[in-house]
């Protein structure tokens, strides 16, 4: 044994070594504390182009999305189809696994898998969902539940509440058991159950905007019986996606450890299924405003990563001719369904440079997980840990 008393020269490096050991964890802290993942459902690059052209300066206009410094492409086919549906694509974005169409966070053989959002929750992050369709719809649901089919809506609603997600904002009053006229919860409804478990329930824009954000607030806001309206025909009682995003950030942003918020511009897809450009562009511009809110938040809250992407393209939309002023634009649609096109990925914040080039859709949450310090992702769920809806 070395006697340190007799060798004082060795004490300095030793003390330094101990100091380094003690301080390494601080240096090795994951770069990302907050994640705002934003999904434009069905949002292809031509949809974005059309939304940009629709603004005042025509093709010279700039969307908030256009200001994001890092961009890439996502290859999004599903396990059993070149053209993915929203369930398989959401599963890929939420869990890092490719699966068959219609499946929510389950592998083709039924094995349940865990979303990055649920893993973040387990590690003490706050979590939140904002959507403009029912919160039981495929994209939000894949982040919260595991099901063999996206159509098991009632069970999906029950399972969503079990996750104790801090913020749930969107449509879906009917399945959660509200009276369709008064929007008050029925006695034995899921909304009442949520209230008993500590959620604050709001059902209109005033309720959401006037709400006092308290430190332990858990927020359930359901604003329409089914999906919310398109932006251009939105009722005044419905909040905008931007308002929902702002409120969600106020709630989840209170957690000093950080948060994972998913915001879906859900109805870009719906409008593209019906080949109606006015609705599509209205919802895309509304989504882009919510992206602006997310970017503003990230600029004032270091450690916030914003990733904007789409699950797939819908409609095979394309601009065929026109004037750069945007006064004359001719366009066409290839389909009333989804297409197999690659979709864009945009990133801002720490680690944003990881989202460049052409990537598989499943890589997106894995990259996010690594940046958050969640390294045991993607993850299969042990069978006794969860009940799969089948």
Among all residues, which ones are annotated catalytic? 86
Q: Which is nearer to Zn ion, 205 or 312 (CB)?
A: 312
Q: Which is nearer to Zn ion, 199 or 230 (CB)?
A: 230
The residue at minimum Cβ distance from Zn ion is 269
Residue span binding Zn ion (CB under 5 A) among the ranges 162-170, 183-191, 230-238, 261-269: 261-269
CA 166 to chain centre: 14
Residues binding Zn ion: number (CB under 5 A): 1
- Number of CB atoms found within 10 A of residue 48's CB: 24
**What is the nearest approach in angstroms of Zn ion to the Cβ of residue 212?**
37
Based on the shown chain and the rule CB under 5 A, indicate whether residue 288 belongs to the binding site for Zn ion: no
Note whether 222 and 185 are within 8 A (CB): no
Which tokens in the block code for residue 45?
Answer: 């690059």
* Residues of span 307-326 touching Zn ion by CB under 5 A: none
Instruction: Please state, in angstroms and rounded to a whole number, the distance separating the CA atoms of residues 122 and 187.
Output: 31
Residue span binding Zn ion (CB under 5 A) among the ranges 136-144, 180-188, 227-235, 262-270: 262-270
Instruction: Please state, in angstroms and rounded to a whole number, the distance separating the CA atoms of residues 370 and 376.
Output: 9
Q: Which is nearer to Zn ion, 100 or 269 (CB)?
A: 269
Instruction: Please state, in angstroms and rounded to a whole number, the distance separating the CA atoms of residues 206 and 227.
Output: 19
Residue span binding Zn ion (CB under 5 A) among the ranges 183-191, 196-204, 252-260, 264-272: 264-272
What residues have CB less than 8 Å from 15, skipping those under 6 apart? none
Instruction: Please state, in angstroms and rounded to a whole number, the distance separating the CA atoms of residues 25 and 19.
Output: 11
DSSP H helical segments within 214-315, as ranges?
241-252, 267-273, 277-300
* Residues of span 44-83 touching Zn ion by CB under 5 A: none
Main-chain phi, psi angles of 216, to 5 degrees: -105, 20
Q: Which is nearer to Zn ion, 33 or 150 (CB)?
A: 150
Note whether 306 and 68 are within 8 A (CB): yes
**What is the nearest approach in angstroms of Zn ion to the Cβ of residue 253?**
31
Q: Which is nearer to Zn ion, 269 or 288 (CB)?
A: 269
Instruction: Please state, in angstroms and rounded to a whole number, the distance separating the CA atoms of residues 289 and 112.
Output: 35
- Secondary structure element (H or E) that encloses residue 22, with its range: helix 8-27
Q: Which is nearer to Zn ion, 238 or 269 (CB)?
A: 269
**What is the nearest approach in angstroms of Zn ion to the Cβ of residue 205?**
26
Pairing of strands 34-40, 259-265: parallel
Based on the shown chain and the rule CB under 5 A, indicate whether residue 269 belongs to the binding site for Zn ion: yes
**What is the nearest approach in angstroms of Zn ion to the Cβ of residue 81?**
13
**Closest CA relative to residue 114, chosen from 297, 299, 388:** 388
CA 174 to chain centre: 23
**What is the nearest approach in angstroms of Zn ion to the Cβ of residue 307?**
21
Residue span binding Zn ion (CB under 5 A) among the ranges 75-83, 215-223, 267-275, 325-333: 267-275
Note whether 328 and 57 are within 8 A (CB): no
Distances (CA, A) of 41 to 50, 116, 266: 16, 19, 5
Q: Which is nearer to Zn ion, 269 or 279 (CB)?
A: 269
**What is the nearest approach in angstroms of Zn ion to the Cβ of residue 130?**
18
Q: Is the dihedral of CA 91, 136, 213, 192 positive or negative?
A: negative
Residue span binding Zn ion (CB under 5 A) among the ranges 94-102, 247-255, 269-277, 342-350: 269-277
**What is the nearest approach in angstroms of Zn ion to the Cβ of residue 124?**
34
Note whether 277 and 265 are within 8 A (CB): no
Which tokens in the block code for residue 163?
Answer: 């996750």
Q: Which is nearer to Zn ion, 264 or 269 (CB)?
A: 269
Residue span binding Zn ion (CB under 5 A) among the ranges 55-63, 150-158, 263-271, 377-385: 263-271
**What is the nearest approach in angstroms of Zn ion to the Cβ of residue 67?**
27
Distances (CA, A) of 310 to 143, 265, 269: 15, 9, 10
Residues at the interface with Zn ion (CB under 5 A): 269
């Amino acid at each position: 044994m070395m006697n340190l008393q007799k060798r004082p020269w060795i004490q300095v490096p030793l003390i330094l070594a101990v100091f380094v050991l003690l301080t390494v964890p601080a240096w090795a802290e994951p770069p990302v504390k907050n994640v705002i993942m934003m999904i434009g459902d069905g949002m292809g690059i031509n949809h974005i182009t059309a939304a940009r052209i629709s603004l005042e300066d025509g093709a010279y206009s700039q969307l908030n999305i256009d200001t994001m410094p890092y961009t890439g492409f996502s290859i999004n086919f599903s396990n059993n189809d070149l053209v993915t549906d929203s369930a398989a694509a959401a599963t890929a974005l939420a869990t890092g696994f490719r699966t068959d169409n219609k499946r929510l966070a389950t592998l083709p053989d039924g094995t349940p898998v865990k979303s990055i959002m649920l893993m973040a929750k387990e590690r003490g992050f706050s979590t939140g969902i904002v959507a403009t369709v029912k919160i039981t719809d495929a994209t939000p649901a894949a982040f919260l539940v595991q099901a063999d089919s996206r159509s098991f809506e009632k069970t999906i609603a029950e399972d969503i509440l079990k996750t104790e997600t801090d913020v749930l904002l969107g449509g879906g009053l009917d399945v959660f058991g509200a009276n369709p006229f008064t929007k008050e919860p029925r006695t034995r409804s899921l909304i009442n159950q949520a209230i008993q478990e500590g959620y604050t329930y709001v059902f209109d824009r005033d309720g959401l905007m006037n709400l006092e954000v308290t430190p332990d607030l858990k927020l359930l806001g359901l604003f329409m019986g089914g999906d919310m309206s398109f932006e251009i025909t939105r009722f005044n009682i419905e909040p905008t996606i931007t308002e929902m995003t702002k409120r969600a950030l106020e709630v989840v942003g209170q957690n000093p450890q950080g948060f994972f918020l998913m915001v879906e511009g859900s109805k870009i897809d719906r409008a593209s299924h019906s080949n109606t450009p006015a609705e599509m562009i209205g919802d895309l511009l509304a989504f882009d405003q919510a992206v602006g809110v997310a970017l503003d938040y990230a600029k004032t809250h270091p450690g916030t990563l914003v990733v904007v992407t789409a699950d797939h393209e819908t409609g095979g939309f394309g601009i065929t001719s026109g004037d750069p002023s945007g006064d004359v634009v001719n366009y066409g649609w290839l389909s009333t369904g989804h297409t197999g096109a690659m979709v864009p990925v945009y990133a801002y914040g720490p680690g944003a440079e990881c989202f460049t080039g052409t990537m598989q859709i499943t890589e997106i949450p894995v990259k996010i997980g690594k940046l958050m310090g969640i390294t045991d992702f993607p993850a299969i769920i042990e069978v006794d840990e969860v009940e799969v809806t089948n």
